[in-house]
Amino acid sequence: MKQFCIIANRDKDEFLEVTNKIQDYLTRNQKGVFLAEQAYKAGHYNYTDASTIPNDTECAIVLGGDGTIIQAAHDLLKREIPILGVNLGTLGFLAEIEPSHVEAALDKLFADEYLIEEHMMLSVKVDSKKLGSGLCYPHCHNALNDIVITRAGFSRLITVEVYVNDVLVNDYRGDGVIISTPTGSTGYNLSAGGPVVAPGAHLMIITPICPHSLNTRSIVVSSHDTVLVKVRTSKKTQDEEAIVTMDGSSSINLSAEDCIEIKRAAKGTKLIKFEKGSFFHVLKHKFGSDAAK
């Protein structure tokens, strides 16, 4: 690799110490480097305008935590530039390199000694009686981690019907439901009792949130399937029955009878890795040795 861009979370690297270190090292090794500027868009201060990144860029070096990498994945989706995550947050699953090891990692990139790990994403289409049938929302209709449909307003239960390929799977009464990718399986899905899945798998996980039932479990379906979630009318109907949230940031208010269609997105995210077992190493350190068995 010869052409790089750097996307830095300025809250994590306030004085650009790590950013400048990487930029200087790339320059000394006669590599092209472009420092992406932060901007504000759709509620995100770490938004990167991908149109400003040079066309010959071969790698985006993203400095921050998993949240920064997820945002960069959204911003770079149409460009399909592989991402190398440099961890400036707590221990996460997406940031491959610690700042102390960044020069050794760059040397491997120069020598083309790396792996590309494909992470599938989800696409969302909301059919809302308020906003028009089949409306697809720009800037927030993809998810790398998960799509969460949960109750709105004060504490009360909601009921959602979940269909797979137009066949009713179950109706869940509780706090809502999570549709997760393998990448997102270690997040909200895991906290809600869902399974951990290796990031290279191609599937979707349907996990109810605090279901009002003793025998409700997660369901795993193929990435070729279509999942449809319909919000049922509650006993105390209000204008906003539920909320659908993509990757914990972008959200849309839902009314009773609204439907959320979820499929595998046409494009995914490419993450640069240097070891084949890195996911399981992080799993062991983050959750303890029993979690990796």
Contact (Cβ atoms closer than 8 angstroms) between residue 38 and residue 10: yes
Which contacts (CB < 8 Å, 24+ apart) does range 94-99 have? 94/66, 94/69, 94/70, 94/183, 94/271, 95/62, 95/64, 95/65, 95/66, 95/69, 96/271, 96/272, 96/273, 96/274, 96/278, 99/18, 99/21
DSSP state of 215: S
Torsions phi, psi for 178 (to 5 deg):
-115, 130
Smallest CA-to-CA distance from 162 within 211, 212, 230, 220 is with 230
Q: Compute the Cα dihedral for 260, 157, 249, 76 and give only its sign.
A: negative
Q: What is the DSSP string of 66-98?
A: HHHHHHHHHHTTTTT--EEEEE-SSS-SS--B-
Contact (Cβ atoms closer than 8 angstroms) between residue 245 and residue 276: no
Q: Compute the Cα dihedral for 105, 111, 115, 118 and give only its sign.
A: positive
Contact (Cβ atoms closer than 8 angstroms) between residue 18 and residue 68: no
What are the residue numbers of the active site?
Answer: 66
Contact (Cβ atoms closer than 8 angstroms) between residue 121 and residue 145: no
- How far apart CA 2 and CA 109 sit, in angstroms, is 9
